[in-house]
Amino acid sequence: MAIEAARLSPSLAAAAAFLGRRSPPTAPLLRRLCLLLPRRSLLASASTSSSRASSGGNGRVVALSSSELRKRRGSTSSTPTPGEDDKLRSLRRLFARPDIAIDAYIVPSQDAHQSEFIAECFMRRAYLTGFTGSAGTAVVTKNNAAFWTDGRYFLQAEKELSHDWTLLRSGNHGVPTTIEWLNDVLPSGSRVGIDPFLFSSDAAEELKAAISDKNHELILIRDFNLVDEIWGGSRPAPPKEPTRVHAIKYAGVDVASKLSFVRSQLDENGCDTVVISMLDEVAWLLNMRGSDVPHSPVFYSYLTVEMSTATLFVDSNKVSEEVLEHLKKAGVKLKSYEAILSDVERLAEKGAKLWLDSSSVNAAIVSVFRSGCDRYMRKRGKTGRQIGKEASSDDPTTKKRGVQNMELNGLYKASPVTLAKSVKNEAEIRGMKNSHLRDAAALAEFWCWIEEEVRNNVALTEVQVAENLLGFRRKQDGFIETSFDTISGYGANGAIIHYNPTPDSCSSVGSDNLFLLDSGAQYVDGTTDITRTVHFGEPSPRHKECFTRVLQGHIALDQAVFPERTPGFVLDVLARSSLWKIGLDYRHGTGHGVGAALNVHEGPQSISYRYGNLTALQKGMIVSNEPGYYEDDSFGIRIENLLLVKEVNLANSFGGISYLGFEKLTFVPIQRKLIDLPLLSPSEINWVNEYHEQVWEKVSPFLSGNPLNWLLVNTRPL
């Protein structure tokens, strides 16, 4: 799936040691909130997308400029008309309440855990704006409503936002960031409100500092969310799905061992407690899984790990007797989900030294922690600020006590779980390999089926195609659900990078244009993510040239060999260079990390043009390889496999270091007729032939009948 890593964090040296592997130096922490991006951010393409997708008479998406759409609505002004939207009107009425008293309100996409995929009851930004993509930030003032998203979603946002909203394309030249826009439209001394549960501590602090330049004040509205207030009784109920134990044969390491590792990190860093708030980190650490969030086997919870105990903050109704026994065996006790704030406050008031990953722990928790620390220091006769000023950052005693960033008892550092989770153990790798073979068998059956349907002129919509693919996957052992909404895009819809077809607006799949299918699955033992682009008729020379250029980039990255401690951004150029040679490019990262029976997007690793992510690729990490090309209003191309980072044996070892490369996990044919053979070098032709030989050898034992014949035909040598 074409997306940047969901979360970028620094490497953790000790986690690699825990897994018996070398580690690169610690890298700086990156923030991911789009509202904090600089004007020339690399989040999205620097090229401008000024078209909008609209449904044409034949069901296909037709691109229209923003000005043309405004004409069709009877307006030529890009300025939103305040008060026309009932939700905006209701939200603005709340601004004047004495207990709120704000001039602007920011609505991000995240839940309290900075998740990419969130439960329906937390989809506040989608409810307010109507935009259904996974990334974006809405800002409402008394007179304006503006929305920011990145290059993956420009066309989708243009299609879904009403005329009450102004779309600002993040990353395009001259487009202000949220902060710049707020500082421009608000009079000096305004009050900007946020729900502190929905902002990481880092994001809230940066926002507070930036708006203070114009004498604005950041208001943390903790007791209720303003969008929830207007959503009212129609807001979906919080999820109540049960959790389950993730068997040790899939997890590879028991909970006691994982907690022991975390405690060793606490001791090494002079801390008493670490607060874990990322849902996949809680699930991985406790060898548990859930289904609170679509596409991700996680459950809403927090976890605190102390030197002698651990506490899971979760709705007890989600915990069965089996799970309770599993936790009890590991020494983990339960408290209610809402008790996290009071527990952090309690720890702070007794002087406990807390480890908080400020890039993910929400601002509400950090605010409560700091208030508790202030009360603790007042009891001791000194304020935290006085202690901070007296403490030297070079004093080893101070460091041991956890003083960082001029604060007593707070260590603000990437979670000790982040890297440990990203480096897969033998059982996790085995599960990923096995699940990918079953997934490949399902896809072979699917492609065999759809080719026959199109050949027989059976009318199929993009939604029907996705539904049938789901049916083939459901037949596979261990299937749980999809790992993201299937991107099924024919023709112009394929150019919408994160296109999500709906029954009332999707196109029919035909044989006159390219069809892009990006899909994945969650199995009990692994997570898959694969994209293939095909043509059911005769591709044009343009289709073949662009497809082959994308394929060359895919091959170049797959064959990469690089020294350990190499960050992923160094490899990104390999995937783009063939496109660059003819003046083409794409607006998304080349690779994201993938969890093992967990989130389809995970950090800290990525392969991207975002050169700020210095996290080194390490043996055992899994990343996607997905270059693409998208011709707006015409077609889209993406080729995606998942890769396992492995150590390679070379004749030399310069500097005495190890060298790394990739092992393929995905085994599904690449359509041969889309390849412009004269463009490929002999070594690239060999790569395609060798890959297809592997596909046949690994997947054919899972097939019979027509799908087996289909696989044989589609893995023949070029």
pLDDT tens column, 640-685:
999 999 999 999 989 899 999 999 999 999 999 999 999 999 999 9
| pLDDT in the model for residue 3 | 60
- For residue 604, cis peptide bond before it (omega within 30 degrees of 0): yes
| pLDDT in the model for residue 378 | 86
Q: How does the average pLDDT of the chain come out, rounded?
A: 86
Tell me the sheet residues that pair with 53. 63
| pLDDT in the model for residue 382 | 57
Band of pLDDT at residue 476, cut at 50, 70 and 90: very high
Long-range Cβ pairs for the range 331-334 (8 Å, 24+):
331/256, 331/259, 332/255, 332/259, 332/286, 333/309
Q: Check pLDDT > 90 for residue 46.
A: no
270 residue type, one letter: G
Answer whether residue 480 is part of any domain.
Answer: yes
Answer whether residue 659 is part of any domain.
Answer: yes
125 and 148 within one domain: yes
Q: Check pLDDT > 70 for residue 15.
A: no
670 and 546 within one domain: yes
Q: How many domains does the chain have?
A: 3
Band of pLDDT at residue 181, cut at 50, 70 and 90: very high
Answer whether residue 448 is part of any domain.
Answer: yes
| Tens-place pLDDT, residues 59-118 | 333 333 333 333 443 433 334 444 458 999 999 999 999 999 999 999 999 999 999 899
CB 314 within 8 A of CB 269: no
Q: Which of 173-182, 267-276, 385-394, 493-502 bottoms out in mean pLDDT, i.e. has the lowest?
A: 385-394
- Give the integer Cα–Cα distance in Å for 650 and 646: 13
CB 423 within 8 A of CB 19: yes
Q: What is the CATH number of the domain that holds 341?
A: 3.40.350.10
- Give the integer Cα–Cα distance in Å for 234 and 228: 10
CA distances from 562 to 187, 360, 559, 624, 686 (A): 52, 30, 10, 17, 21
| pLDDT in the model for residue 688 | 98
221 and 255 within one domain: no
| Tens-place pLDDT, residues 517-560 | 999 999 999 999 999 999 999 999 999 999 999 999 999 999 99
415 and 471 within one domain: no
588 and 466 within one domain: yes
Of 395, 419, 443, the residue at which a domain comes to its end is: 419
Q: Check pLDDT > 90 for residue 493.
A: yes
Answer whether residue 500 is part of any domain.
Answer: yes
Of 419, 438, 473, the residue at which a domain comes to its end is: 419
271 and 230 within one domain: no
Q: Check pLDDT > 70 for residue 36.
A: no
Of 214, 234, 254, the residue at which a domain comes to its end is: 234
- For the residues 177-194, what does the mean pLDDT come to? 94
- For the residues 578-584, what does the mean pLDDT come to? 98
- Give the integer Cα–Cα distance in Å for 338 and 443: 43
Domain with 281, as residue range(s), is: 244-380+410-419
Q: Check pLDDT > 50 for residue 713.
A: yes
415 and 277 within one domain: yes
Question: In residues, how long is the chain?
Answer: 718
* Owner of token pair 């002999």: 682
461 and 348 within one domain: no
Q: Taking phi first (over 0 means left), then psi (-120 to 50 degrees means alpha), and beta for anything else, what does residue 583 get?
A: left
Max Cα–Cα distance, the chain, nearest Å: 83
User: Could you give the percent of the chain with pLDDT greater than 70?
Assistant: 85
| pLDDT in the model for residue 612 | 85
Answer whether residue 69 is part of any domain.
Answer: no
Q: Check pLDDT > 90 for residue 292.
A: yes
| Tens-place pLDDT, residues 589-645 | 999 999 999 999 999 999 999 888 999 999 999 999 999 999 999 999 999 999 999
Answer whether residue 79 is part of any domain.
Answer: no
371 and 250 within one domain: yes
- For the residues 682-689, what does the mean pLDDT come to? 98
Band of pLDDT at residue 692, cut at 50, 70 and 90: very high
- For the residues 47-69, what does the mean pLDDT come to? 34
CB 302 within 8 A of CB 337: yes
User: How many C-beta atoms surround the C-beta of residue 583 within 10 A?
Assistant: 6
296 and 440 within one domain: no
439 and 497 within one domain: yes
Locate all alpha helices (DSSP H) within 199-339, ordered by sequence. Answer: 201-211, 226-231, 248-251, 255-268, 279-286, 321-329
Q: Which of 150-154, 484-488, 686-690 bottoms out in mean pLDDT, i.e. has the lowest?
A: 150-154
Question: Regarding predicted confidence, which is higher, 502 or 72?
Answer: 502
Residues 6+ apart with CB under 8 A from 433: 526, 665
627 and 589 within one domain: yes
Q: Which of 371-380, 410-419, 423-432, 676-685 bottoms out in mean pLDDT, i.e. has the lowest?
A: 371-380
| pLDDT in the model for residue 84 | 58
Q: Check pLDDT > 50 for residue 320.
A: yes
- For the residues 177-201, what does the mean pLDDT come to? 95
Answer whether residue 17 is part of any domain.
Answer: no
